């Protein structure tokens, strides 16, 4: 028997991946699973997760702002994240809660960095300000090929989803490069499989990567 309570208490885990990877579906499944295991996670989404962050999110995803400049975009994602840290993530971790985030700075490195062309060091410097140096214990990357990802997206695309196949191919490479650079902090899951198969792999991966907390 796996003692999930002890593995998840006080931990900060991020689910991330390209658009159409199915990460939000897996996040919902894992949230339900946690509750069944008597763990009530603090689930947050980035960008968003606070009233200010949700307002920033609307600006970021609005297709009318096609002209948004890359650094403006990066700073808005970071601004939303900063508010999320103060209002949600830091208080929850201080209370020893399990925090589960739908995206985090790994998205900025993949989308604005590898795919967009911003210097990753520039992103990390601003990221350290936004997050106060609080990094996730584990980033789960739901990896999916472009064709499968495109087939999972709705036809009503937001500003980021409209950036095209080549951009999203670089996004995927950006995630894989992060995992390769820091394998201890990343868990890559092949998300091209069925929902149930992906969830089984997720559960097994988390069990092996999150040791029980020794009290
Ligand atoms: P979502 O689809 O997971 O809600 O994320 C919103 C979009 O914003 C998605 O296309 C990924 C993108 N994004 C970035 O470009 N940079 C970031 O830092 C984050 C958090 C998301």
Using most ligand atoms within 8 A of CB, pick from 49, 111, 161 the residue to mutate for ligand 1: 111
pLDDT tens for the chain, residues 1 to 215: 889 999 999 999 999 999 999 999 999 999 999 999 999 999 999 999 999 999 999 999 999 999 999 999 999 999 999 999 999 999 999 999 999 999 999 999 999 999 999 999 999 999 999 999 999 999 999 999 999 998 988 889 999 999 999 999 999 999 999 999 999 999 999 999 999 999 999 999 999 999 887 65
Phi, psi of 182 (to 5 degrees): -140, 70
Quote the ligand 1 centre to 25 CA distance (angstroms): 15
Quote the ligand 1 centre to 1 CA distance (angstroms): 36
Atom of ligand 1 nearest to the CA of 158: 10
| pTM score, whole prediction | 0.97
Residues 178-201 as b or e (16 or more Cβ within 10 Å = b): bbeeeeebbbbbebbeeeeebbeb
Atom of ligand 1 nearest to the CA of 103: 20
Quote the ligand 1 centre to 58 CA distance (angstroms): 11
Q: Which residues does ligand 1 sit against, CB inside 6 Å?
A: 19, 46-47, 77, 102-103, 107-108, 111-112, 160-161
Atom of ligand 1 nearest to the CA of 80: 20
**37, 75, 82, 118 from 50: Cα distances, Å:** 27, 17, 10, 26
**13, 26, 38, 40, 107 from 31: Cα distances, Å:** 12, 8, 11, 8, 21
Quote the ligand 1 centre to 24 CA distance (angstroms): 12
Determine if the peptide bond prior to 47 is cis (ω within 30°).
yes
């Amino acid at each position: 028997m796996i003692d999930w309570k002890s593995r998840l208490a006080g931990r900060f885990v991020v689910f991330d991946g390209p658009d159409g990877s199915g990460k939000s579906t897996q996040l919902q499944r894992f949230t339900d699973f946690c509750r069944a295991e008597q763990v009530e996670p603090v689930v947050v989404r980035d960008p968003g997760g606070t009233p200010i962050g949700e307002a920033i999110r609307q600006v970021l995803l609005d297709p009318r702002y096609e002209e948004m400049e890359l650094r403006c975009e990066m700073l808005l994602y970071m601004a939303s994240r900063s508010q999320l840290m103060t209002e949600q993530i830091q208080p929850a971790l201080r209370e020893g809660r399990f925090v589960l985030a739908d995206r985090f700075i790994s998205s900025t490195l993949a989308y604005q960095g590898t795919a967009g062309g911003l210097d990753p060091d520039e992103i990390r410097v601003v990221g350290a300000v936004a997050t106060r140096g609080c990094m996730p214990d584990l980033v789960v990357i739901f990896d999916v090929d472009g064709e499968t990802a495109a087939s999972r997206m709705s036809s009503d695309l937001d500003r980021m989803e409209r950036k095209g196949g080549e951009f999203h191919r670089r996004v995927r490479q950006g995630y894989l490069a992060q995992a390769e650079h820091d394998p201890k902090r990343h868990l890559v899951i092949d998300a091209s499989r069925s929902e149930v198969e992906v969830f089984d792999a997720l559960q097994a991966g988390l069990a092996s990567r999150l040791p029980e907390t020794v009290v």
